[in-house]
Structures are given as structure tokens and as C-alpha cells.
Structure 1
């Protein structure tokens, strides 16, 4: 692990004397860059075209650059500005002061791209926060991972990118068809996952090849998005249209039969300077390190940009994904102990999971003035999934003997369809009232889920031995032959409707003290109708209907304080809350619905930009408490039959009350660098403890499942462009590694204190360190990247409950060749 780093340092050390000697014979170029309005431009690249060496401008727009004597051509570029080249005659031992250079804005650069390039972690506002405020002014942790990092690390799945964000992790991979995420002890459901600012169903692995960047807003986001879990939200931003023509075609191949052609083209529509397009997509086909598992997918992501006026733009985006793969619930567990294996497959022949997801989004943005802007978003998504699979091999208690390890397999079938509609409107602006500065957000949103779920009665199929698949086990007498024999048992129709209104204001009390305060009101209707069908064998075929209706509302406040003792450091503290509506079946001891659970969150931290912004280092500590969690009302107090519980009502034996408590607390560290002398790195660490702190069902202090106590990450890359000047062959070379640690993670089932001799157990998942290495080379329009993943061949698992015990991939190889159009 240390050898590549040591070799690179040694190489730089050898080159430095020669470089210094050459520069000693040259002179110094001094200058300043400003915009069309005369304001200084920071972080603009100024380089010598001959050697490629250069610097970025300071906060006041100035730069100093050493150069060899003779005629030098300065290359000046910054995303969002027209590139310029200026000839300078350098005299040995002299300082050449250039007149002020003015850069013109490139009108065809999109703002989404502009804010990510050449900016550090604390200089890139995330669109998921909805407000045009600097990250140092935000009393909340946020992380953005841009396309350069995704390409360097050759991200294939979303989990490959998560390793760059402390405290964001995969909780499980149920059936091997999705990657379920979590943060700070709370699961990211579809309500917490967004694409281009619109919720999308994460029941399928999203396509990573289309991503421009990944944004993570940690902690509570209820004020912005309503019903979201307390851990945070994830926003995936896809590639946008550009007026400059370009693109690429490529092919990725890898272990286990991976074959993935990729294309990306963009440019103006015809010769128009008002309409631009982008079209990217891929086809992927692969087998697996798992026996009998395979997958294929098709993805297309078209988009159009219309410049309706100098101040108004409309972006139309489409997204289509068809994904077919073998459902795979892993290697199985016996007596809540994982049975080590990487390849053992326990599903039935013909098992399949087929998903289609289609979405469209329209985003209209209009700048009313230099300080006010309106944005409207409309979105639609269609999600359809059909799964044919055997039952999951669960970790039930087995007794040693003749039948040890035998599992009865039942066939299961489900069909899900979902239509999702969204409308959102935001107004942002800045103004002053006396000595107070304001950055204001006013907004409203409404969305609707129409869902249909068809469930079929599971039927016995056969029995297997999960330890020895060659062992013959007697087939049940009432076994079915295939999935067509499974009868429909229920049809559930849902029509969830939500609406919210929110206001948030960043108050600037002074240059050093700022307060972010806001409030949201959310309303939610959750009607559903459940149709239950009698079995086909019944003498009379009937259908019964159960109607469920819920109407909930909640206020979500937020207040945060930011103190900046210096311009590059911010201390912050914040309070916010979120809410979780109860299921339709949850009632109190009188049969009435329970109100939503309200979750309080306190967060404190420090954000630092060090070494003139070259390095950003942020630390956050948090405490999240759900003090009114729904739990079943027990018949007796403290499980003592001599103490009847007065709240228990035998007419409603499954009634619940808002009396439980879960507490999550932890620390997160995120460190990112800008490119410096060819080096870039990303590092992080997280600690989390999420436990029952008040429960009448589980032992107080027992940790909740799926949440690792520790994660750590480090990614280091070196680009040889800055070191080899005229040697074009070496200047296209880059290399690096990424390592990720997961420690002290639990699955299984928490032991119930209300059950004598309870068989439930927690399962300790093996800790692991995944180490990946990458090498890239570009020459002219061609590039080649290779990656070796899990070099240490670590074995661990992702678990759901005590089933779906899915091993992580072993050591594997991939390579991507591409040609830039």
C-alpha cells in the first residue's frame, strides 16, 4: 500500500532540483484577472502552455508564475469563462507585471457545472439545499462528489461512490437487486433519494454512468422535502446539455463476463445558440461470482436545454432504465450464524426480477433580477417490477441431527406498479432590512403516489440442504411445479398525496455571525384499499375489501447558528426535527390512528478551508432522538403478570403507543483536497451508535441493525501532467487507490425481552477493508483506465434481518477504453 506513494514522492523529490534550477534562470510573471464587472476572479487557472505548469488566482484575482526566459504563452481558463491565451516576453531575473486581464463570461456554460470545477468541498453549493448560500454559511454537513472523482475511481455502482462520504453506507442488498442505503442510523428509502431534485424509486440500482455529481445533505432535510428520514438525503445529478459539440464512446469489460458499451454526445441543436441537447446511455450484460446469477440492463438519458430568454432557461430531462437480474438471497444462515461461502446459490431455476423505470423532469429557472430567482419543477416517474423467487433462507434455529441445514423452499411472486407525480415552486432572493442581510427561500411542493401491489400466495416447492446442495431432500406432497400455480391473494391500491409550504431565511447579523431559521408545514393523505381473494379451492369465490384512510400533518422547524472567526473557518450549531407517519394498521388502544413520530436532531460542527482553500476539513457531531416511537402496548408492566397494564385493551391487542425511544449519536469527519502538484485526495471517518434507549420490547441499550459503528475511507490519486512538461507520453498518466473500512456492523434480529427464551439473535458481520487500485492513461482523444478492486480479497456480507446474506464481490478486474469525439 505504501510503495506507490513512496515511489511518487521519491520521483517528485528527484525532479524538484532540476525544476528549481531551470526556474532560477527565468523570470516572474505577475498579473491580475477580473470579470466584466471589474470584480476579481478567484481560482482561475493560469498556466504556461509550453510546460503545462501553472497556478490558480488568489481571492483578489492576482497570480504569480515563474517561467523560463524567452517568449511564453499564458493559457488562462476557468469554467464559465472564455479561454484566453496571452504572449509574454520573460527576461531572466526580472519581474514582468501584466496589465489587468478581463475575462468574459461564456453564456453557454451551465451553472450546475460551473460551481463544481476548481472548487473545494466548502466552496461548492449543493443544489439539494435549494438555497444559493455558501457551504460555510450552512449550519449542516454537506458533501459533493463530482464527475472527475467518479471517473478516476471508475464507479460502476452507486456503492462505489458512497465510499467518498463518511457515514453514508449500504445497509443491505436484499435479493441482490438493489443497494439499500443508510446514514446516522436511519434508512434512506425512496423518500430520501432524489435524481435532479425529484424523488425516485430506489428499489433498483441506479445507473452511475450518467452522473455529473452526487450530492449528500446530511442530517434533517424535512424543512425542504417533508417526509424524509432523519439521516439525510441523496441527490444524483445527471449530465447536462452543452452548446459546445462533443462527447465520447467507450467500452468497459471486466471480471465475471462484464460487458458494457457506453456513449455520450452533446452539442447545439443544428446551428442554434438557443437549444442544446445531450444523450448518453449504456447497455450492460454480466454474469456474477455467484453461481447461476446474471444480469442485463439498458439505460438511456436524453436531455434538452432551451434558453428562452437571457434570464430564463428550461431543461427537459428523460430517464429510462430496464433492468433484469437473478434474485439472489445469498448463502443462508443457520442458528443466526453465517455459513461462509461466496458462490453458494439457493434460489430456484427460473427465478427472475424484472424492472422498468421511466421518468421525465422539466426545470424552469428565471432570474428576475441580480438578486431574485424563481424555479419551478415538474416531474413524473413510472416504476414497474415483477419478481419470481423462492422464499428467503432464514436463520431459524436448527437442531443438530438428520435434518440439520434442511430448508423448505416456497415459490413467491409479486407485482408492483407505481406512478409518481411532483410539482415544486421556489423563490430565492437576497435583500437587507437595516443592518440585517437576508437570503430568503419561499417554496411549496405537492406530490402523489399511485401504487398497485399484487401479492400471490406462497406455495411449497421443494426442500434443499443449504450446506450441501447435492444432498437429496424429499419433496413435499403438496408441492407446486412453477410460478403459474400461485394464486392471487391480495391487490392493494394506494394513492398517497402530500403537500408542503416552507420558508427559510439566512440572517446575516454581521460578517461573522449568521442565523438560518425556517419552518415547514406538511400535509399527507395515505388512503389504500386492500382486495383479498378467496383461494381457488374455495367452494365460493369472493372478494373482500378493506379501506384504510390516514390524514396527517406536521410542522418541521429549523434553526442554526454560524460563527466565522475568520473567513475560512465556520463553527455551527443547529436544531431541526423530522417526522415519520405511522402505517395505516397502527392504532391506539381505542382503534384510532396514531399521530406521526417526531424526531429531534441537534448538530454541531466546524468547517475549515486550509492552505488557501487547497484543503477542506470538516467535523460534525450529532444527536438524534425519536422520543415518541410507536411500540406495542404490553399486557403487563415489566413483563410481570402481577402488574396488569392499565393502558392494555383486550379489544385491541395489537394497539400501540408513542412511548418508545431510539437515540442515534455520532461523529463524522470529511476531508477533501483540490489538485495540488498533481495530487488529490479524499478522506473521512464516521462513528455511530444507534440504540433503543427506552423500549418495552427490546433490551435498552441494544443497538439497531444494519448501521456500522465505524466507517473510514481514503482515496489518493496522482496526475502526472504537472510533472513531465514536454513529455507528452507521461503527461497522460494517472494512478491512485481507494480504501474503505466497515467495522462493527450488526444484522439478524434484536432479542425480545417480552418473550421467554427468545430465539431471536443479532448477527455480527465481519469487519473488512476493501482496497482498490486504478491506473489511467490518455493520449490525444483516446483513454484507457484499468481497475483492480478488492485486492486483499476480503470476505464479508450485506444482510437483511437473518436472511439475504449476500457476500461482497471478491478480487476483480475491469478496464474501460474510450474515444473522445
Structure 2
């Protein structure tokens, strides 16, 4: 940005003073006063016109980093793919970034919603699920991280859903990433970046009301605590009371997330982060059988809102507390050390009476003729998990001859300890079962005795890894990324021998960053995933091992307002877990699987009034893996406009399309197109918005699984919100 000021003043120093006073908003420069003639000058010199001088002051905007706020939808830097603040045009692997503005405009109520328009992501893999954020990337489940540290341990133990209002961005690294993060699937990493204290005071409070009696209040306060900016703070808080589209399943939340940054110098910063979250919910997943959802049932379709559990017993209540820090110190311009650390305590009280859709494929084992009375399991777990995670590394920048190096030497560790009580009761038609059948089309509750609870063996998991990575630049255009890592994972169950897994994983990438903005690349990466626990036959699972080859082209326009990426990949994985067709409660490990695909992604700002996001992905999934749509596409656009002299209006609309697919022997899941919309009015102090997801209230099935159950997708959600900035 250039600010050009033309000031009439005889001495140049007065001209500069006038410019700086104008920039400081202290009003226009004062008129030049008559001055005594310079010694030896004539008395008329002061009356002569002043010399016209042009002073050009160039103000550079703050450098965008992978942690700072982004204005709009286009982010240019990411940290997830390299653990360094690296431009996307210099990253030889697919990365999608969902910014804060995108989440706000699309009215994201959860992490799944935030990923609705992310390339390569199946965001509603299991429809509306109140227990966790479930999504798939390149056919598998990615690892979920927060600020570069693993967030979850095991299913339904620490998978409390993340509140999107606490996030600055979400970065999706597609493809194996074990060289940097240790254990993880071929899907890659979804890394959420928390809101952090800002040097400028920004304060916001907002309220919203919407479908399913959703009532929410939220606030986000940040700024300096001291005049010199040494101490910065941020406080994010959310309170919500809500129902869901399923009867008797609430979606209530209380959350407080404070953070504090200390910057004693330009070379050192320490950010302390805390979180307390208390959710009261249940399970929107009822595990309905095929017939009545995807196939005909003589009694008609099962209503989306149907609840077949026990209202006085079912719940999914979770508490999450965490404390940690982000530390960085630069010894000089070339060497920097960082440490990210977090302690977390997670408690989940999960009790559910759900449908037996597994004894007979497609369900109705208790009523195979009339297909009205459904058998049910009663499952309860009360879990407490304590997690410690830390990642520390040294980053060095130096040059050898014509080659510039950016080296990362790191060590990370994670520890998890799980205590659990559990109980299980079977349908009444099974041996020893006491759970009564329920009329799905006219349910009557209350004839139920909860299962007895008992202590499960204490389990622990310890993971450590050391890694080295070098980002090399040859001249101005050639980029090579190479890395190597060694992992050791120990899984222990009380009164059993520890299971120890080790692995060495690699990555290698080659990219040519052309001056024209095009960056073609080729990369190779690996994954390693220890699988804790035993199968139903007391056999330990063996680790998953994955390999990916990816080729693509990235493009960024010279003005930074257009980003386009295309990638093609081939994934191979050994020892993938799938459902056991002979035992619905068990999982088995198959041999090698192969997945190939193509992904296209566009983000652009057109004519300063229109933002657009578009993507398409094709995936050819191995039939041994759980089915997902082969084709998927989405487009979202936002248009800003004025009405008369009133500025600040915007409208947005998007469409998401999934092709039909089939999981094994399950009935076909039909293709679907969903439409979302937004209208907003914004002033410097106020923002009013109306968001609608699944605008036309389409009832659709997100997936039907080979094991026998089907999952409904989210119905229409309309939310009106207002926020005040001060």
C-alpha cells in the first residue's frame, strides 16, 4: 500500500513532519508560517511560493503467517505440512486451509461443517453424529491435531467435538504424514489452529438462535494488557442450549478458552493456553437397519427424528480440560527453538441403547416378518483419559554453496492413560440378553433395566519419535523436501505384556516454483499407525503401513487473489482394519489396499466483490475399504454489495454434490445435492447474518454400511445471529 502526500513547505523537514502528523490522524499539516529570511537572503524570499515536493511513504502490511488471521478465504502459508511457516507454493503436498472468515460465512456449527467445502474431504462420513466429528480424507480417517499436538486418543474417549468459534483456521494435509507426526493413517492430518492473543484490541459478543431450539451466546476478547504490548490476552467463551434433529438428544455446551502471551523481546514469545469444556448430549446415531431407511419397509420409512434408546438413561456427556503452551525463541536470524506442550483430561459418560442392525444383515432379527419391532443393544462406558503431548524442535537456516537449507531437528512424545468402566446387555432374543424390543414406528420407553458396570483393565500408550527434515532451495526455483523419522510406540494393558511397535518413515518432495506462479511437484510419503488393543479373539492388531506417491501443480496469481491446485495420487496400505463379516462386534485386518484419485481446488477473489471456492475430487477406492462416493464436488460463492448508500451487505450460496456409492453388500447410497445459503449485513460495529444449511430440507442417507446399518444426513438448519464489536 502506498500513501502519497504532497505538502507545500519550504524546509523539507516541515514537509516530513506534515506527512507523519497526517498519518497519525492529527489533522492536516499546519499552514506554512512566514519565516525570517535566511542569513544573506532578501526580505522578499519568504513571500515567494514554496517549492512543491512529493514525499512517498510506503506502508507494508504485516507479514502473513500460518497463525495470524486471514482476511477472506485465501491463506498463503501453512505450518502443518512442514512444521515450519512455509508458503503453499513451496509445499510439495496437498494442503487445504479453511479460514476464520470461511467458517463464519458458512455458519459452521462443528468441525464437520467447517470442512464441507474442503477439497478431498468427505465431511459427513456418518451423517449427523453428536458424539464426534467424523470425516474422511482420501478414503480413510485422518488424525486430528490442535496446534500441532495430537488431540484424541481412541474412539469415544477423548473425541469431544471441537467448537469452531475457538479456531483461527483449519489446515488439512492430505496423504501420509508420519514423518512429521508419527502414527497416523494414509488420510493425513487435520490440524486446527487456535485463536491466539492479538496486539490490537478486538472485542466481540454475539448471540444466535436457530433450528432445533438452538440458543447460543459467545464472546471473543483480545488485545494488549500492557502499553508496550509485552503481555497480550485472549478470552473465548461459548454457552449453548439446543436440541437436535433426533428426539431426546440435546446439544448443550459450556466452554471457556483463555490464553495469555508474553513477549519480552522480538525474539521470544510464550503463549499459555487453557480450555474448559462441558457438553451435555446424546447419540444422534441410532444404527437403523437398511429396510426402513434405504430399502422399502412395509411400515414405511423410519422418521429421521426417531429415537429408539431410553430417554432417562441415554447420554453422551463429556468434559474436557486442558492446559499448555506454545514457546518460541530465536537465537538469531537463522536459529530458532520451539516447544508446544499440552496436558488434557477428558471424561466421557456414554450410554446408549441402539438398534441391532447386525445380527441379520439389514436388521430386524427380532421381527423378520413384520419388520416393526427392532432388537437393541445396551452399551455403557464411563471413560477417563489423561494425555500429555509435547513437540520440540530446532529450526536452522543456512547456506552451502548455492543451496539454501531450512533444517528441522525434532523430538515429540505423547502419553495417554485410560480408565474405563463398561457394561453391555444384548437383545432379548440372544442368549443372556434382556434388552426388550422396541416398536420403531410407535416407540414406548421405560421397560428397560440398565446393564451392570464393571472396571476394564487400565490401559496406557506411550509414543516417542525423533525426526529430521531439510527444505532445500537450489537457486530461485528448485525446492527439495526430505525427511526421516524413527518412532517407538508402547501400548500397555493391565496384567498383559506391553505391545511394542517401531517404525522408520520417510518423505521426499521435489518442486519447481516458477516465476509465473505455477509450481509443479512430485512427492512420496509414508504412514505408520500402531493399533492398540486386541480383537475379539485376543489377538493383537499389527500396525498399519502406508505409502503415497503424489503429483500435482499449484498456481497463485501475482496479486495473490487466485489459487488453483490439481493433484493426483496413488495410496497403498497394509493391514487396514475393516468390519468382520462373521462377527459384527469385531474388526479384522485385510491385506494390501490401493486407492487412487484426482483432486482439483480453486479459491479466488474476483473484482473485490466476489469470493469463490470450488473443488472436485475423484477417488477409486479399494473394495476392501469402507465405501465413499467416487465423485464429489462443491462450490461456494460470496457476493458483497450496497443498497443505496448502505454498504456492507453480502449474500452467499453453495452446493455440495456426492455421487451414489455402495459399501460391500449394503444397498446403494443414492447421490445427493445439498444447497447452503447465507445473507449478512455488516458495519464496523455490528454483524447480522442468516445461515441455512441444507436449504431445501432434503432427507438423505449419508451412508449404509455393509455390516447392516444406515446413517441419516443432517436436515435443514437455519440460524440467525448478531454480533457486536467494541
One of 119, 126, 144 as aligned partner of 1:193: 144
Contact conserved, 1:443 with 1:501, CA < 8 A, in 2?
A: yes
Q: Within 1, Cα distance between the matches of 2:474 and 2:657?
A: 42
Equivalent position SS for 1:136: helix
* Cα distance in 1, alignment partners of residues 340 and 660 from structure 2: 41
Q: 1:175 to 1:105 in 2, by over 3 A?
A: closer
In structure 2, the residue matched to 1:462 is 436
Q: Distance in 2 between the 1:135 and 1:655 partners? A: 38
CA–CA distance in structure 2, aligned partners of residues 372 and 365 of structure 1: 11
Contact 1:302–1:319 (CA<8 Å) still a contact in 2?
yes
Normalization by structure 1: what TM-score? 0.74
TM-score of the pair, normalised by structure 2: 0.84
Alignment deviations for residues 750-804 of structure 1 (CA, whole Å, 9 cap, x no partner) = 3xxxxxxxxxx32322222111111111234122111122122222133474566
Match of 1:256 in 2: 212
Superposed CA RMSD in Å reads 3.5
In the alignment, which residue of structure 2 is the partner of 1:739? 655
Change (3 A) 1:46 1:818: farther
8 Å contact kept, 2:613–2:635: yes
Report the equivalent of 2:49.
none
8 A Cα contact 2:73 2:101, kept in partner: no
Among 639, 642, 652, which residue is 1:718 paired with?
639
Is the 8 Å Cα contact of residues 176 and 188 (structure 2) preserved in structure 1? yes
**Shift in Å at residue 156 of structure 1?**
1.5
Does 2:122 match 1:172? no
Distance 1:618 1:326 in 2: 40
Where 1:317 maps in the other structure, the secondary structure is: strand
**Matched residue, 2:453:** 488
Aligned pairs (5 A) from 1:375-390: 375-390=338-353
1:414 offset after TM fit, Å? 0.9
Q: Partner of 1:814 in structure 2?
A: 719
The corresponding residue for 2:502 is 553
The change in CA–CA distance for 1:582 and 1:788 in structure 2 (over 3 A counts) is closer
Alignment match, 2:317: 354
Gaps of 5+ in 2: 6-17, 30-51, 153-157, 295-300, 426-432
DSSP-derived class of the 1:187 partner? coil
Describe the superposition over 1:243-297 as per-residue Cα deviations: whole angstroms up to 9, x where unpaired.
3323111101111111001111122225463111110111111122322332211
Q: Please list the CA deviations of residues 424-461 of structure 1 after superposition, one character each: whole Å capped at 9, or x if unmatched.
A: 11111221111211111111111101111222131523
| Residue 503 (structure 1) aligns with | 468
Q: What is the aligned partner in structure 2 of residue 615 from structure 1?
A: 562
2:407 to 427, 431, 440: 440
Task: Give, in angstroms, the shift of residue 379 of structure 1.
Answer: 0.8
| Residue pair 1:166, 1:711 contacting (<8 A) in 2 also | no
Superposition deviation, residue 237 in structure 1 = 1.3
Change (3 A) 1:712 1:570: same
Are residue 416 (structure 1) and residue 332 (structure 2) matched?
A: no
1:420–1:449: 8 Å Cα contact kept in structure 2? yes
Bigger drift between 399-408 and 156-165 goes to: 399-408
Q: Quick check: 1:408–1:460 contact (8 Å CA) kept in 2? A: no
Cα distance change on mapping 1:514 and 1:401 into 2, 3 Å:
closer
1:364 match: 327
Closer/same/farther in 2, CA of residues 132 and 685 from structure 1, 3 Å limit: same
Aligned mates of 1:209, 1:174 — CA distance in 2: 19
User: Does 2:361 match 1:394?
Assistant: no
1:431 maps onto 2:409 in alignment: no
Closer/same/farther in 2, CA of residues 156 and 83 from structure 1, 3 Å limit = farther
Residue aligning to 1:766: 670
Indicate whether 1:679 and 2:623 are aligned: no
Once the 2 structures are TM-superposed, how far is the Cα of residue 507 of structure 1 from its aligned partner? 1.7
Query: Does 1:453 find its partner at 2:414?
Result: no
What residue number does 1:563 align with?
512
Residue deviations 1:560-613 (CA, integer Å, cap 9, x gap): 11123434111111111111224443799xx99675332111010000113643
Contact in 1 for aligned 2:66/2:77 (Cα 8 Å): no
Whether contact under 8 Å (1:715, 1:739) holds in the other structure is: yes
Give the direction of change, closer, same or farther, for the CA distance of 1:391–1:548 in structure 2 (3 Å limit): farther
| CA distance in structure 2 between the partners assigned to 1:772 and 1:799 by the alignment | 20
Q: Distance in 2 between matches of 1:655 and 1:678?
A: 51
Range moving further from structure 2, 737-746 or 661-670? 737-746
Q: Does 1:625 align with 2:572?
A: yes
Question: Counterparts of 2:105 and 2:627 in 1: how far apart (Å)?
Answer: 29
Aligned counterpart, 1:602:
549
| Cα deviation, residue 365, structure 1 | 0.6
Shift in alpha-carbon separation, 1:732–1:405, aligned structure 2, 3 A: same
Report what 2:596 is aligned to: 665
3-state SS in 2 of match to 1:427: strand
1:492 is paired with a residue whose SS is coil
Report the counterpart of residue 11 of structure 2 in structure 1: none
2:66 and 2:79 in contact (8 A); partners too: no
What is residue 291 of structure 1 aligned with on the other side?
Answer: 247
Secondary structure at the counterpart of residue 112 of structure 2: helix
Partner of 2:57: 101
Q: 1:710 to 1:631 in 2, by over 3 A?
A: closer
CA distance in 2, matches of 1:146, 1:97: 43
Structure-2 residue corresponding to 1:646: none
Q: Paired residue for 1:514? A: 479
Q: Is the 2:348–2:382 Cα contact (8 Å) retained in structure 1?
A: yes
Q: Does 1:579 align with 2:535?
A: no
* Residue aligned with 2:196, SS: coil
- 8 Å CA contact 1:328–1:346 kept in 2: the answer is no
Distance 1:718 1:97 in 2: 42
Secondary structure of 2:179's counterpart equals helix
SS at match of 1:223: helix
**Equivalent-residue separation in structure 1 for 2:66 and 2:682 (angstroms):** 26
Is the 2:216–2:238 contact (alpha carbons within 8 Å) kept by the matching residues of 1? Answer: yes
Cα deviations by residue, 1:518-574 (Å, 9 ceiling, x for unpaired)? 100001111112xxxxxxxxxxxxxxxx51421111000111111234341111111
- Post-superposition Cα deviations, 1:104-130, rounded to whole Å, max 9, x if no partner, equal 787xx9955547347945x22335631
Structure 1 residues 393 and 596: CA distance shift in structure 2, 3 A: closer
Which residue of the partner structure matches residue 619 of structure 2? 688
Contact 1:171-1:706 within 8 A present in 2 as well: no
CA distance in 2, matches of 1:177, 1:621: 33
- C-alpha spacing 1:213/1:362, structure 2 compared with 1 (3 Å): same
Distance in 2 between the 1:623 and 1:83 partners? Answer: 56
**Cα-to-partner distance string for 1:690-749 (whole Å, 9 max, x where unaligned):** 21xxxxxxxxxx35224221221111111226xx8xx651x11111112212223444xx
Conservation of the 8 A alpha-carbon contact between 1:126 and 1:142: no
**Matched position secondary structure for 1:460:** coil
Q: Does the alignment pair 1:781 with 2:685?
A: yes
